[in-house]
Amino acid sequence: MALMTKDEYIASIRKLNLNVYLLGERIESPVDHPIIRPSLNSVAATYELAEQAEYHGLMTARSSLTGETINRFCHLHQSTDDLLQKVKMLRLLGQKTAACFQRCVGLDAFNALYATTFELDAKYGTEYHARFVQYLKYVQKHDLTVNGAMTDPKGDRSRAPHAQEDRDLYLRIVEEGETGIVVRGAKAHQTGAVNSHEHLVLPTAALGQEDRDYAVSFAVPSDSPGIIMIYGRQSCDTRKLECQSGVDLGNAQYGGHEALVIFDNVFVPWERVFMCREYEFAGMLVERFAGYHRQSYGGCKVGVGDVLIGAAALAADYNGVINARHVKDKLIEMTHLNETLYACGIACSVEGQPMAAGNYLVDLLLANVCKQNITRFPYEIARLAEDLAGGLMVTMPGEQDLRSPEIGHWVDKYLRGRSGISTEDRMRVLRLIENITLGGGAVGYRTESMHGAGSPEAQRIMIARQGNLEFKKALARKIAQVEATIDGGA
């Protein structure tokens, strides 16, 4: 098959026997639940755009494993151009959905694991890489959506995994046998977990020998026995249960989601195990995955930013102030910040290099700079959007008030803006700004920018590691014509 259609994707998720809980109740049909469905639509867009001829080459690629045309979300990067096309693809999808389309994490996990298993096998003579190649061929053939599951709950952050009071606060191997392993634990903040065919698990941090049981990577179907998904709440999520025509949703069609995924003694056959206690490779895998995922934000967040800038401009237009000098200046600043984020995503891609396995890795320093900026600039973009929207964005009556036979005419009369613009259209645009900036469906454009792909401190650690201060000091000494060094520095 190699490429699924949008409808085939939706049907394939419907066939899964998923164990999903939302608001304390088990959901029999996640595909049809009004709170969940917009996030499914966002994933479906990755299939829909791949069907369209104008996006071939951007949404699709030629597999280095099979030679077939595949969705780019299943691809191994074979060049810096592949890295570049990934960022452009993510920006396009952000523009089309104004939400999280959820397949990035799996894509980033594929590339990190492909390279790391290759080097792991080279050292130990294991067969993890061959297993992973067979698994990825299966994913590519069936065009699967795969949840890249990395983040553990972590418990007491001052303690290592093995030193936690509850050792299950990091996912671990609890049993090993002839046919496979049994794992127990959880993965938190799992983007698109409920909309995924598979979970591809990675360790969450660099590990020592005492933590070797936590150095595990594997893949299992999302409906495997023992997997429980608890759907994360979002601001304004129950509006989806009460809306009439979507005015109060802002973005009625698309959304995103996160879930807490429980692994309650889940069995994994050996052919789907890609790391088993090789703890010294955990840090390498995490570092590579983090680099790829921080690159991703230079595309997806920028695309959503494009929509937010457009919505802010519409709000100003509907208010009759689009030509005011300060309004133009704010829109310019929003655009400047957004394009700076994109530039970082492009830069770390263009500066990528091949790894021993043959696929390409982004420039890690620039990727971390990209994500560090993402933790800041969307906050200012959101602030300016809220400024331009005005206070009505958070004090506005609802759609039911607008439709009310008793009071609807008052809402329509007093919430009207510029002549020729309907009150409903004005409300819809303001709700869209609210949706993106306050997290009503875009998985918190603002807060997710802070913590997604690692907290700001995680990037600063990597920037310090990759910054090569000794090299820079040597440059300065040469220009200044000084020779003194301190503590044996170069």
Residue at a domain's end among 284, 315, 333: 284
Q: Please report how many Cα atoms fall inside a 13 Å half-sphere around the Cα of residue 9, on the Cβ side.
A: 25
Q: Hey, is 280 helix, strand or coil?
A: helix
- The number of distinct structural domains making up the chain is 2
Task: Tell me the per-residue pLDDT of 308-321, one tens digit each, with 9 for 90 and over.
Answer: 999 999 999 999 99
Q: Is the dihedral of CA 39, 41, 47, 53 positive or negative?
A: negative
Angle formed by the axes of helices 456-466 and 282-319, nearest 10°: 120
Same domain, 343 and 275: no
DSSP state of 224: -
Residues 353 and 247 in one domain: no
Domain boundary among 266, 284, 302: 284
User: What residue type is 293 in one-letter code?
Assistant: H
For 350, other C-beta atoms within 10 Å of its C-beta total 15
User: Among candidates 420, 422, 388, which has minimal Cα distance to 402?
Assistant: 422
Whether residues 303 and 444 fall in one domain: yes
- Active site positions, annotated: 100, 104, 191, 258, 293, 297, 300, 448
Query: Which of 284, 313, 338 lies at the terminal end of a domain, its last residue?
Result: 284
- In a shared domain, residues 344 and 386: yes
Shared domain check, 340 and 269: no
Range of the domain at 362: 285-470
Distances (CA, A) of 420 to 317, 408, 467: 11, 19, 55
Query: For the whole model, what pTM was predicted?
Result: 0.96
Residues 60 and 149 in one domain: yes
CA distances from 444 to 230, 235, 257, 264, 301 (A): 18, 8, 10, 29, 11
User: What is the DSSP code (8-state) at residue 75?
Assistant: P
The two structure tokens encoding residue 99: 């939400």
Specify the CATH number for the domain of residue 327.
Answer: 1.20.140.10
pLDDT at residue 445 in the model: 87
Tell me, yes or no, whether 426 lies in a domain.
Answer: yes
Is 484 a member of any domain? no
pLDDT by residue for the chain (490 residues), tens digit each?
A: 689 999 999 999 999 999 999 999 999 999 999 999 999 999 999 999 999 999 999 999 999 999 999 999 999 999 999 999 999 999 999 999 999 999 999 999 999 999 999 999 999 999 999 999 999 999 999 999 999 999 999 999 999 999 999 999 999 999 999 999 999 999 999 999 999 999 999 999 999 999 999 999 999 999 999 999 999 999 889 999 987 899 999 999 999 999 999 999 999 999 999 999 999 999 999 999 999 999 999 999 999 999 999 999 999 999 999 999 999 999 999 999 999 999 999 999 999 999 999 999 999 999 999 999 999 999 999 999 999 999 999 999 999 999 999 999 999 999 999 999 999 999 999 999 999 998 765 566 888 899 899 989 999 999 999 999 999 999 999 999 998 777 655 5
Terminal-residue alpha carbon distance, the chain: 56
Query: Is 464 part of any domain?
Result: yes
The verdict on 334 and 248 lying in the same domain is no
pLDDT digits (tens, 9 = 90+) for 202-243: 999 999 999 999 999 999 999 999 999 999 999 889 999 987
Q: 3-state DSSP call for residue 365?
A: helix
DSSP at 182: E
The CA-based dihedral angle spanning residues 316, 322, 327, 333, taken in that order and rounded to the nearest 10 degrees: 90
**Of residues 216, 386, 393, 411, the one with CA closest to residue 312:** 386
Q: Examine the domain organization and report whether 273 and 297 are in the same domain.
A: no
The strand pairing partners of 216, in sequence order, are: 276
Q: What is the pLDDT of residue 329?
A: 98
448: nearest Cα among 156, 108, 105: 105
Residue 83 CB contacts under 8 Å (≥ 6 apart), including other chains = 77, 295, 348, 349, 350, 352, 360, 362
Quick check: helix, strand or coil at residue 141?
A: helix
Residue 475 lies in a domain: no
3-state class (DSSP) for residue 217: strand
Query: Is residue 121 situated within a structural domain?
Result: yes
- CATH number for the domain that contains residue 114: 2.40.110.10
d(CA 443, CA 154): 22
Same domain, 51 and 195: yes
CA distance 161 to 172: 9
Shared-domain flag, residues 232 and 326? no
> Is there a domain that residue 476 lies in?
no
Q: Are 183 and 270 in contact (CB under 8 A)?
A: no
Q: Does a structural domain hold residue 481?
A: no
Tens digits of residue pLDDT in 26-56: 999 999 999 999 999 999 999 999 999 999 9
User: Does residue 488 sit within a domain?
Assistant: no
* Pairing verdict, β 20-22 and 25-27: antiparallel
CB–CB of 247/428 below 8 Å?
yes
The β-bridge partners of 183 are 173, 266
Question: Length of the chain, please?
Answer: 490
Together in a domain, 249 and 100: yes
Q: Give CA–CA dist 162/170, Å, rounded.
A: 8
pLDDT of residue 438: 87
Regarding whether 318 and 277 lie in a shared domain, the answer is no
